[in-house]
Structure 1
């Protein structure tokens, strides 16, 4: 047998094993991964602070903030309205974020717009904005949520029930992805795929920091637990501040719970593929850290995913395993959509984009290769390359 044939068989075996593992993990998570459901109010609802760091969010706030403000009257405590406040921090926006937020909050008790202070040395933008919000908040439960996340009626009750039921110090939630443009449909669902096909959710209950996950789009903390670890100062210089916070909280004895947003929470992350604030720039800012700060790992990652999801569809690829690899790749994407509730016709047709996803992700990898990156008008230098 030639060396090339041996290499081809080894590749096919590895790719098949990889897809089988991911499908097995997806099967576990399809049954075990919690999803937010409508719940009645808690008998004794806590004081709640909903905290929104906002930088250049004039496009999103008119759609998301009114629904968020509606949560102020959304929970009851013994027949009387429980204390809920919504704080929006304008983080030196260059657009009308502050004015729009102030107009929407006008006359509503419990809603305030804060002006962010200059960012100190060593801090990334979002952790600093969140730190200021955490200091200003009065609630017993601190819920940090991104300005592009859309809450539905009953979301707050569901969050408080999930936090109480889990007994966790941190509940982190992945909103349902809203995708409309081709660029969004190619890349945004990868967030769910990584979450649901890599780590079986029962493992995250183990007391190991490495078995953690976090999503900065929604992180609900018990106040005492948040301040005990120093708040967002714990991750002041981190790109992946959400993942790092969850891991470091767990390393200090805290408990972390995960959930999907289901019908109660959605997000439209990026409205276009390229350009400032687009999907390429958005995913590239984190990709270097996701791969442990190693360019060689990033390169190997892209080549591997191209080999698993794209190569089997090319005419040059042969072998009896080829149809099976093609089928399993599509099945993986389908199961992710079904678990996250993305079952509209257009969402299901996204499955057919699977072979093109590594190609669409190539510009993300190339941008992440650069030693510096830009996000929302700020320049950052990546952490030193690790071996």
Structure 2
């Protein structure tokens, strides 16, 4: 077998797996839809860790406060932009975060403090850039009960406005929906897990039993690792797509996307520089190289089409169906090039996020 033939077969297998996974998820992945609060429901705490989020809170808090939860708590994690004042003015109860202890990363420590103060039987941690629409809390509680889960993590629908934030941010959905078949979550092994820290709903008993966010106190990829470690300890995990209930505007520019994804890319690749390099090379070979090969070569157009269609189909599944959303599929050939700064940032080992620096899993 020639090298060119082996290359095309490898890509065919790769895109075939991703297409099959996307089809399975289109048929089985739970989607939220707006629901009223159950008449008999557990008490609920909505918890927001916030560090320099004054620009996001006016969009988050009105919808969050209108959900009908028993309490809404915002923890001001050493902000310098008036986060606490904005939260109080909008009607939330504000906690002042304690200094970061040795051996902790910022977000896990903020969440740990919220979990210790909250009174709810269900603890829902949500990031400040998430939008809670009418009926969202009812939808989350319904899905948590239906799934019988100890942790339900929701992937909000991406809301991308500027061209720069469309370049990389939607890849969050593509990675989830083309690599992880939803039925795999039923397997008992802890590696069959995923989570999104933007929305994580815990049953208090399970959260307390594993020690809360102390379980991931020094992790940058704290959401996925929390799901894996909870599952390893017998916890039940469920995922859902936010659809019209929950939205998010994660990053508002291409540089912000590079910084955000670069923070987690090392952990996603197991902390291995070799795996990072191989991943970058593979995605260049899969999505970019077919456009440099002669078009008359057998099978090349099928590979090109697979790379173009993937993101558009993912967006359809998540409910992003505007023409501009579907046109993101055209970015397929250049996406690996756009992602190279993310890999470079991860290779440096030193990560700065929200004014804090980390290296090899430890704060600097």
Kindly report which structure 2 residues correspond to 1:138-153, keeping only aligned pairs within 5 A, or say none: 138-153=119-134
- Tell me which residue corresponds to 1:380: 358
Q: How many Å apart are 1:316 and its aligned residue?
A: 5.8
Question: Does the 8 A contact of 1:184 with 1:279 survive in 2?
Answer: yes
SS in structure 2 at match of 1:171: strand
Q: How many Å apart are 1:222 and its aligned residue?
A: 0.4
- Tell me which residue corresponds to 2:60: 64
Q: Deviations over 1:135-180 (max 9, x none)?
A: 0000000000000000001100000000011110000000001112
**1:361 and 2:339 correspond:** yes
Q: Show structure 1 runs of 5+ residues with no match.
A: 73-82, 106-110
- Tell me which residue corresponds to 2:144: 163
Distance in 2 separating the partners of 1:60 and 1:42: 29
Question: Does the 8 A contact of 2:37 with 2:137 survive in 1?
Answer: no
- Tell me which residue corresponds to 1:86: 72
CA RMSD of aligned residues (A): 1.3
Distance in 1 separating the partners of 2:230 and 2:349: 29
**1:321 and 2:317 correspond:** no
Question: Does the 8 A contact of 1:212 with 1:246 survive in 2?
Answer: yes
Question: Does the 8 A contact of 1:176 with 1:266 survive in 2?
Answer: yes
Q: How many Å apart are 1:318 and its aligned residue?
A: 6.2
Distance in 1 separating the partners of 2:191 and 2:84: 38
- Tell me which residue corresponds to 1:179: 160
Q: Deviations over 1:246-269 (max 9, x none)?
A: 011110111000000000101000
SS in structure 2 at match of 1:220: strand
**1:247 and 2:228 correspond:** yes
Mean Cα deviation higher: 299-308 or 328-337: 328-337
Distance in 1 separating the partners of 2:295 and 2:278: 20
- Tell me which residue corresponds to 2:309: 331
Question: Does the 8 A contact of 1:174 with 1:217 survive in 2?
Answer: yes
Question: Which 4+ residue blocks in structure 1 deviate beyond 3 angstroms?
Answer: 315-318
Q: How many Å apart are 1:348 and its aligned residue?
A: 0.9
Q: How many Å apart are 1:9 and its aligned residue?
A: 1.3
Q: Deviations over 1:97-129 (max 9, x none)?
A: 111111111xxxxx4100000010010000000
- Tell me which residue corresponds to 2:39: 43
Distance in 2 separating the partners of 1:146 and 1:53: 7
Kindly report which structure 2 residues correspond to 1:1-387, keeping only aligned pairs within 5 A, or say none: 6-72=2-68, 84-105=70-91, 111-274=92-255, 278-314=256-292, 319-383=297-361
SS in structure 2 at match of 1:262: coil
Q: TM-score, normalised by structure 2?
A: 0.97
Q: How many Å apart are 1:41 and its aligned residue?
A: 2.8
Q: TM-score, normalised by structure 1?
A: 0.91
